[in-house]
Chain A
Amino acid sequence: MDVNITIRPGLRVKAFYLFFIISSIQTGTGIMSTPRYIFKEAKQDAWISVIIAGLCMHLIIFVMFAILKKYKNTDIFGIQTDLFGKWISRVLGTIFIIYLFSSLVSILINYIQVVQVFIYPMLSPWLLSIMILSIVTYAVLGGLRVAVGVTFTFFILTLWLIFFLYKPMTLMDFGHFKPMFEATPMELLKGARATTYSFLGLEILFFLYPFIDNKKKAQLPTQLGIVMTTFLVLLVTFISIGFFGGDLLERSIWPVLILYKLIEYAVIERFDLIIVTQWMMVIVPNMILITWMISYGLKRMYQLPQKKAVYGVVFLLFICGGLIRDQFTIQLIIDYVAQVGFWIVFIYPFVLYPLVIIKKKMNKNRGNHS
């Protein structure tokens, strides 16, 4: 496998879209329940944890770019091959792909669960799987450009959901934030770690980088994308704490959806229903991008035709989406994805960076000798 790859201009994507890609892939089903997990760790100072997590992510992105810039035009598979050789890199890449697949499963089953709880308790999970997966397949078969297009368009189309949070915002009780700064640094860090699940998705940079058209301008939109997601998570965490306060927040499984439930208008009385259905447009780009990543990875590593890879992934997803129904199992998978994701997405780049530097130095030395 070649370390560096060339992509024809027709397939490239403008760096500007990285903003939408990053913020879309990070906001999925996780954000619906994140405030609760952070609150469990850091209590009323949870919002500080979110800021800490946000800052960490900026650092991670920075490191990721630093790694990628050491190469001409490559992705994670190329880097791993360069560092570890063919076989170890294949193992690592496969772990990556298994992790991606399980995060895909977690998104799907979590969403199905939400739909069943909030809209149709009796709806068959198979059916929802078919619906979502047919959209995903249709888009991924269109290639990366369509995937990015869907991400962009759906991001714009679902942006309005944020504005309706103003209603619960007016119902906040600022007393719930007191006493401020009570949490210990350890608790804050634990809280920051609890955000993992809703912040996963940065890894797409490692996959997408070769496809970016104007790489010099890529850092800024990516960092802004992080700002956007941090802002979103911060916003919902902040409102959730202010609105629910202590015990109630810990007991709510989807606090964000309950926030939307309070909104009432003369035409639409129950906003949570609209939100849950609109959320499909939030998770679909998410799933499209991850499916693309998996299929692309399989193609890169095993020379599997991308079309076949997509069908395979979707079929497996369909089975998982239909079979996994029990709330605890779903929670287990989410926790597992968060655990593994934490190491793969947030810690791995820091391991990779020194290795890349050493390798480059060694190459240079060798070059000098010969």
Chain B
Amino acid sequence: MNKRPRPFQKNNNEGSFPLSIEKLKQKIRDHLHDEADLTFKQLDVQNKKIVVFYISHLVDKTSLNESLLTPLIYGQEESTASNLINNLPLGNAKQQDKVEDVCNELISGSVGIYIENEKQVTTFILLKMHQRPIEKPERESIVIGPQTSFTESIDINLNVVRSNIHSTELVAEKFTIGERLPTEVRLVYLKSLANDEDVQTMRQRLNDLKVDDIEDSSVLAQYIEDSSLSVFPQFYLTERVDRFSYGVSKGKVGVLTDGSPEGIVAPSTFFSFFESTEDVYFRWNVATFFRMLRFIAMFISFIMTPVYVAVVTFHYEVLPTNLLVTLGESRSKVPFPPIMEVLFLELIIELLREAGARLPTKVGQTIGIVGGIVLGQAAVEAGLTSNVLIIVIAMSALASFTTPSYLMGSAIRVIRYPLIILAGMFGIIGVTFGLSLLIIHLLRISSLGRPYFLPVYPFVYKDLDNALFRLPFGVGNKRALSYRLKDDMRYKEKKSTKKKDIDDLEG
């Protein structure tokens, strides 16, 4: 039906060696659409015509001269295709018998060598890497703990993951996804730990994915998620190497994508999005406190403004008299109904956040301060909003930023809007309605086939540690049971359980 030739369809008839050098040149040029930086270097070595060709901006010239050209020209033995592989001090040699494949190698930074009348072209990878060095994580910053983040190169990423998880059990299966622009994707997991079913599901989803190209890990995640209608992210995307390897070392499945500084960790539960690796580095009691704080913050961030709207619009009775006076006085100057007032102010906050994120860091900070202080003050003075609301909004905005995962934080901010509207229409019962719906939604969705609301439902009481709070390391010697890993024990021995008395005389 489709008569238009699809450019990425392979044409198998092309490229039958041997060829004359001129013809080869012509073919490669045609194939690469007259790439300007395509360089051919013709040599005569031991009476044989040899042509070396490469794309100059992709190739490391020093290596080219030292390791390829020098031995080639001054080499003693006869130049044949097989001798080339043996004599040149370079790994990654491949022999290609199709011009098509040769060109694919060229664009990934290879140098091709063709000896006239041979049957194959030999290629060597001499890619010049222009990479951003490993930097500190910027989007998920923490105070203590390792400070490395992924870069855009999958080689470097795999390198750091491997050096973090020093085990022969670490498997990094390779997939190529994208039919027009293929991208390398790696499925990383611990063979002896990860649940086979999870690995198989992920493998299946990656294999089944048929798209023209994937721009980023986050795009890949959206393609392979369980429920794409949901607001909630179902896979954890992280730029932190330690977070990624923490997940993998606990038996989860990781996915790395070439060209993306973020790794996917799956399956993830709702509660894991409030978990920061810092919680592991902190002492257990402090970590528990912070974890709880984050849950409370989440709750505040989506309940505060709707409740304000509900109370001010419908339920004056609920307020204690003194608070009622304060609220009433601040409301009395505002010309809009509460819901408009709240939406207006929420909009300002969102604009500030968006502007701050888009602008260069220094300008962004200024905008934040100017917006926060000046605008808020001015809005109150102009009688556009009540001063109580400023506090409420600021608090809920602040609370939404405590979520370690940026995706989850954004999801929570978005959920707030329907809740505000429900509150404005039906009062507190609307809020309860919204919350109920939300909880049921969370109960319905899954992550890589595992329930999203684990370990609360299905209730696995031993997994509450590390999900809702953190206990001392001595207490839990098991991994999360709900993922059905191959090995549940983290370490065999429990700490001695013998109770000690005060001033044990014989101890």
Contacts and interface: CB of A to CB of B under 8 A. Distances in A.
Q: CB–CB under 8 A between A and B in the complex?
A: yes
A119 B318 contact: no
Interface in A107-137: 115, 119-120, 123, 127-128, 131-132, 134-135
A150 B436 CA distance: 9
A138 B426 contact: no
A17 B317 CA distance: 38
B433 A270 contact: no
Interface residues of A, number: 37
A344 interface: no
Grouping DSSP codes into helix (H, G, I), strand (E, B) and loop, the B interface class, with mixed when no group exceeds half, is helix
Given A127-B426, A268-B318, A269-B318, A153 B439 contact: yes
Interface string A271-283: 0011001101100
A270 B315 CA distance: 9
Most buried by B among A16, A134, A152, A156: A152
A44 to B, nearest CB: 33
A351 interface: no
Contact of A135 (B437, B451, B453): B437
Interface in B448-496: 451, 453, 456-459
A266 B441 CA distance: 34
Interface string A153-190: 11011000000000000000000000000000000000
Contacts of A154: 436, 439
Given A119-B427, A131-B433, A150 B440 contact: yes
A284 B435 CA distance: 12
Nearest to B321: A269
A146 interface: yes
Contacts of B436: 135, 154, 280-281, 284
Interface in B401-454: 426-433, 436-437, 439-441, 443-444, 451, 453
Contacts of B426: 123, 127, 131
Contacts of A156: 456
B432 A281 contact: yes
A221 interface: no
Contact of A120 (B318, B319, B427, B453): B427
Most buried by A among B321, B427, B429, B443: B429
Nearest to A142: B444
A157 B299 CA distance: 13
Interface in A1-29: 14, 16-17
A153 B318 contact: no
A157 B321 CA distance: 29
B428 A138 contact: no
Contacts of B457: 149, 152-153
A123 B433 CA distance: 15
Contacts of B458: 14, 149
A290 interface: no
B360 interface: no
Most buried by A among B321, B323, B432, B440: B440
Contacts of A265: 320
Contacts of A289: none
Grouping DSSP codes into helix (H, G, I), strand (E, B) and loop, the A interface class, with mixed when no group exceeds half, is helix
A239 interface: no
Contacts of A280: 429, 432-433, 436
A281 B437 CA distance: 10
B175 interface: no
Interface string B297-336: 0000000000000000011011111010000000000000
A274 B459 CA distance: 27
A139 interface: yes
Contact of A273 (B317, B441, B456, B459): B317
A266 B320 contact: yes
A117 to B, nearest CB: 13
A152 B314 CA distance: 31
B437 A138 contact: yes
B241 to A, nearest CB: 35
Contact of A150 (B314, B319, B443): B443
Interface in B29-71: none
Contacts of B320: 265-269
A307 to B, nearest CB: 15
Interface string A184-207: 000000000000000000000000
A278 B317 contact: no
Given A269-B319, A274-B318, A146 B433 contact: no
A21 B319 CA distance: 35
Contacts of A127: 426
A142 B437 contact: no
B429 A277 contact: yes
A131 B440 contact: no
A139 B439 CA distance: 10
A153 B433 contact: no
B128 to A, nearest CB: 53
Contacts of A132: 433
A135 B437 CA distance: 6
A275 B437 CA distance: 18
A119 B432 CA distance: 14
A132 B437 CA distance: 10
Contacts of A149: 443, 451, 453, 457-458
Contact of A153 (B429, B432, B443): B443
Contact of B317 (A123, A134, A269): A269
A170 B70 CA distance: 96
A142 B453 CA distance: 14
Given A138-B437, A269-B319, A269-B320, A277 B443 contact: no
Most buried by B among A266, A274, A277, A284: A277
Contacts of B433: 131-132, 135, 280
Contacts of A17: 459
A268 B428 CA distance: 13
Nearest to B324: A269
A21 B459 CA distance: 14
Nearest to B461: A16
B437 A273 contact: no
A266 B55 CA distance: 75
Contacts of B323: 267
A4 B438 CA distance: 37
Contact of A277 (B432, B437, B453, B459): B432
Contacts of B321: 269
A135 B321 CA distance: 35
B399 to A, nearest CB: 17
Contacts of B315: 119, 270, 273
21 contacts: A17-B459, A115-B429, A120-B314, A135-B437, A138-B441, A146-B440, A146-B444, A149-B443, A149-B457, A150-B440, A150-B443, A152-B457, A153-B439, A153-B443, A153-B453, A153-B456, A154-B436, A265-B320, A267-B320, A277-B428, A284-B436
Which 3 pairs between the two chains have the least Cβ-Cβ distance?
Answer: A149-B443, A149-B457, A142-B444
Given A119-B428, A150-B439, A270-B315, 19 more contacts: A120-B314, A131-B429, A131-B430, A131-B433, A135-B433, A135-B437, A142-B444, A146-B440, A149-B451, A150-B443, A154-B436, A266-B320, A269-B321, A277-B432, A280-B429, A280-B432, A280-B433, A281-B436, A284-B436
